[in-house]
Amino acid sequence: MNPNPNRYFIINKPYKMVSQFVSPDKVNLLGDIDFDWPEGTHAIGRLDNNSEGLLILTTNKRVTKLLFESDTPHKRTYLVHVEKVVTPERLHQLQTGIEIRVKGGGYYITSPCEVEIVEKPNNLPKRAHEYREDLPSTWLTITLTEGKYHQIRKMVSSVYHHCKRLIRLSIEDLELGDLPPGGVKEIEEEEFFRKLKIENLGLPLSIFNFQFSIVNNPWPLSNPSAPSAPNRN
């Protein structure tokens, strides 16, 4: 049995909190959430300061590569509140691909994605800074597999709509559900990988992690004086 099994969590990241435990800036951090995080916990697939919703945290260092750097794309669904009424023409533009500006000053055409106009959820938690309800606006769900920097905000801005609120609802079948802002839920390893649809190569995670550590550090574990293996990452 692995004496140090990996652990997996989801949280509902609150508005105005960065997806980090440490920052040189005076900001709200993940460590401010009232929870006893195990050593080595880190966020996967960050949300920016103004975004909310589903955020994965784990002690397993290979999840980022499996989830966001694999050849198999993984769907992420967001609830998006924008200013003004979205017309059918602009909805179609968002669905079929639109030009956005990316880092370095270049431009990129987004891949086709699922975009629907929806009603505002009745159970949506309020946040500290709310927009006026009497002004025209639209609620959308957007499901995509890409992850360019601030992609959704740039997409809606490209069709002349300001993003007022952005909440990640799910990654594949791993859902935020009714978890309140700042809430934490631990997920069992088998359920975590099954819901994220990550290929596990038929190996228990504890075995894979052991093999991974041997490949990257082939020196005998019982010999603490052996030199460290070179960093291949």
Distance (Å, rounded) from C-alpha 97 to C-alpha 111?
5
Write down the catalytic residue from 32, 36, 48, 173.
48
Nearest CA-CA partner of 216 in 208, 204, 224, 225: 208
DSSP run (H or E) holding 99: strand 99-101
Q: Which residues pair with 76 in a beta bridge?
A: 144, 171
Is the alpha carbon torsion for 188, 5, 61, 31 positive or negative?
positive
Dihedral, 223, 2, 208, 233 alpha carbons, nearest 10: -50
Respond yes or no: is residue 134 known to be catalytic.
no
Q: Where are the alpha helices (DSSP H) in the chain?
A: 63-68, 88-96, 151-158, 189-196, 205-216
What SS3 class is residue 210?
helix
* Contact assessment for residue 12 and residue 58, using Cβ atoms and an 8 Å cutoff: no
**Active site residues per annotation:** 48
